[in-house]
Structure 1
């Protein structure tokens, strides 16, 4: 398993995250609606709005998953926030970064992951909108564009909610 690296701008990213005052807030239908739409559109068991904190990923919205958070060091989203594009793992069992990850070898038995980074207005990656399946699958460019569009909706809601 490969622990995700921290972005080069991690200190500034964390300050921006704190300024958004989103961590550990109550569930919000605005985010839940988008996660449900992503879950149904892609026909996956799990869709999350994940916020990546210093040591954890916390779920602002979760469809199909009971956990409220997981450790950042085993997170797929920690890898996804390192880039600008949709991050895809088509078969986690065949990916050396994830094949022995406890989220792969045990519940929720992740095989497929696609996550689009959520950027703040300052350009920091605060988390992801991600979809997860317990079966391997491919993810074409049209699907990537669609997930990115859903992520843009989450970003708009973050800006509206947080006034940042």
Structure 2
């Protein structure tokens, strides 16, 4: 007997998970480029927390993070699991305590006390959302302006471009690194 998850699941979930696996970024070492992007997002939006979150089958893994000590959470408490179903839109939650999807979420009721969330989906080459670039605050905030939404989406595209660059480099490592004698 299968149970219905507490989060939305994209209609093409298996293709999305395959796209995430193909990018092969979840179990790789930290990447300074991702760290710089989340640091820039936190700075630009003046928030204490910014993340590159990769949404797997049952968990989300933080590939880069500012302001949060944990490296992953269950998908059942993931705001990003909601953001990936929107694909081309930024999900904004001005006050998570007032949003029925998140009001009882343990990340809202307890540490890190999320109040504001905005997440731009990370869209891979095949059009699959593999995660988000998100910003989080511990106080409610107004909705983002169109300019702010566009900025967050551009930063998310930078994350995807870095993932694709890394993928190309890894695929061609033998040809790029000279053989030792």
Displacement of 1:3 in angstroms is: 2.4
State the structure with more CA Rg.
2
How many residue pairs are counted as aligned between the two chains? 163
| 1:148 paired to 2:149 | no
State the partner residue of 1:103: 107
| 1:29 paired to 2:32 | yes
CA contact (8 A) 1:24 1:58 kept: no
Displacement of 1:102 in angstroms is: 0.1
Q: What is the alpha-carbon distance in structure 2 between the residues aligned to residue 67 and residue 89 of structure 1?
A: 21
State the partner residue of 2:116: 112
Give me the TM-score of the superposition, normalised by structure 1. Answer: 0.96
Higher relative contact order (CA 8 A, sep 6+): 1
Return structure 1 stretches of 4+ with deviation > 3 angstroms. none
Give me the TM-score of the superposition, normalised by structure 2. Answer: 0.88
Q: Runs of 5+ in structure 1 lacking a partner?
A: none
C-alpha root-mean-square deviation of aligned residues, in Å?
A: 1.2
Q: What is the alpha-carbon distance in structure 2 between the residues aligned to residue 39 and residue 18 of structure 1?
A: 27
Q: Runs of 5+ in structure 2 lacking a partner?
A: 172-181
Map Cα deviations across residues 112-143 of structure 1 (whole Å, 9 max, x no partner).
00000001101100000000000000121111
Displacement of 1:24 in angstroms is: 2.0
List aligned pairs for 1:54-65, cutoff 5 A. 54-65=57-68
- Judge which range, 8-17 or 108-117, deviates more: 8-17
